[in-house]
Chains A and B, each alone.
Chain A
Amino acid sequence: MRFSGRAHVFGDDVDTDQIIPGRYLRRVGYDELGKYAMTGADPEFPEKVREGDVIVAGRNFGCGSSREQAVMALQQAGVSCVVAESFARIFYRNALNRGLPLLEAEGDPREVVSDGDRVEVDVDGLVLRSPSGEMGLRKPPSFAVRAWKAGGLLRLASERPDEPPWRAGDRG
């Protein structure tokens, strides 16, 4: 599993109000969230982002509100994965459920990535590569990688809805 695309760099503690501002939650449909992705931090992001692009950020990405629309907005905007120093837990679960890979870097990934760089995120090789260097990625839990590869726990559940996807995984 690997992703390559242009990097969009954000700071520490990017909260879900920045990923999808609250005023859009009940103004637009669930399928139109991509048009407003990241506008709380960068109003031009929806115009700049291209399919497959990667978000790079510091600590505690996705903190704040539990709104799952944050993950939906990023996916609809074309974001392939997020690399950060750490993630907030509800956002992490939401992304796991929806199949958006979140990779923790071994340090602050902004040390090796500048905004606009073409980067490669090698999930199997556990490395983030950019023109100015590379940084190791922390090994994600194996159940998370399985879920990402399958398109998320929700996708797995929809294929075998009779039992919870986390139990089905035990046998797989």
Chain B
Amino acid sequence: MTTVERVFSEKVGERVEEGDFVEVEPDVIMIHDGSGATALRVMRDELGVERVEDPDKVVLVFDHSVPPSSVEAADRQNELLRFAEEHGISKVHVDEGVCHQILVEKGYASGGRLVFGGDSHTPTCGAVGAVGIGFGGTDMAFAMVYGELWVRVPPTIEVRIVGRPRFPSTAKDVALRMVSEIGAGGAEYRALEFTGSVSGWELGDRMTLCNLATEVGAKTAVVSGEEVVEGAERRVEIDARHVEPCVSRPGRVDDVVPVSEVEGVEVTRVFVGSCTNGRYEDMALFAGVLEEMGGPCEHVRIVVVPASRTELLKAVKDGVVERLVRMGVLVCPPGCGPCLGEHMGVLGRDDVCVATSNRNFPGRMGHRDAEIYLASPVTAAVAAAEGELKDPRDVLGG
């Protein structure tokens, strides 16, 4: 029995297995200012029923457009706040950070819990053993109104990670390698269960790994406490000790190459943040490498967006924020920032950006001709200092 089958069986109250269609009540229903606004519109204008079966299960997070980027965004957020008030939804987190960070930080997601989230990166909470699945706005409306959704129990691909990445490689490089091994749609309708060394990794690194599972199409991802996943469809093994610093080339998350293959590409922008790599450790690592290299290259504009208020506070308290600001870095409020191309650093036609986030689709962060390289905070710092992509091992050793 896989971890995912076990969690579904517990929730449904009988033994279920991969391929079964189940109607299941989640432990948590997470909506944000995007999916929540859509869900609310669905209830009011299309379903004709505005009801929340169990308001205690609902977590509302404002992260995509904070502070509001448009009148439309502000109006929708105000409406969502009134909705929460009217229906007794008390787990409301405004301007506190990215929903996936909040789910873990506040303990809403924990081992064995089933989390239905109105966001594709909901599998991130698999880092703490929760089974998180992403949905669209109508499904979130259904989940709130009926308290359940239909789901097909997915088969599992076991991803065994051997050892730890060696600096200057990081968990992000391992995650990118995983994406390239499995491919953009390679885990469609499937769960990823991580075994091996991962259960001993830092929480943030586990979140980075589970977060990128979305980019191979995985329905969910979870760090399994098991030695081996019994009943897995197949197993992929990645030796983290030998993963090189790498990037996803513009256009495709699974087009992963060692940084050494793209050396010399000129960079105009650097974005450090998002649910993938916007935590304290990421900011501290970025600041440290950037300082070690003598600060940023003159023509590179850098935006740092903390994943949450808690992470920002840690970086304020130990001086990371001051060091970043002194180097000319724009430190933005916690949230999704420019990751989805809405505000706080949208890219123009000629921009080439190194981003620590999770998507580099054409147009993702702005103009469709702008180029986005996905990388670790270390590779991003080296690019920020050099003004071009460069193998971190050449300048930092390792």
Contacts and interface: CB of A to CB of B under 8 A. Distances in A.
A2 interface: no
Contact of B363 (A12, A21, A71, A153): A21
A120 to B, nearest CB: 27
Interface residues of B, number: 50
A116 B184 CA distance: 28
Interface in B115-173: 118-120, 134-139, 142, 145-146, 148, 150
Interface string B221-254: 0000000000000000000000000000000100
B188 interface: yes
Nearest to B69: A26
Given A27-B72, A66-B135, A97-B136, A89 B217 contact: yes
A65 B76 CA distance: 19
A19 to B, nearest CB: 10
A70 to B, nearest CB: 9
Contacts of A28: 72
Interface stretch (B42-50, B264-272, B280-288, B374-382): B42-50
Contacts of B41: 30
B72 A26 contact: yes
A97 B138 contact: yes
Given A68-B138, A97-B139, A164-B146, A17 B185 contact: no
Nearest to A29: B72
Interface string A26-52: 111110000000001101000000000
28 contacts: A13-B184, A13-B252, A17-B340, A17-B341, A17-B361, A18-B363, A23-B341, A26-B64, A26-B68, A40-B368, A43-B368, A60-B217, A66-B35, A67-B35, A67-B136, A68-B35, A89-B219, A93-B135, A93-B136, A97-B139, A97-B142, A98-B138, A158-B46, A158-B47, A163-B146, A164-B148, A164-B150, A167-B23
Interface of A: 12-13, 15, 17-18, 21-23, 25-30, 40-41, 43, 59-60, 63-69, 71, 86, 88-90, 93-94, 97-98, 153-154, 157-158, 161, 163-164, 166-167
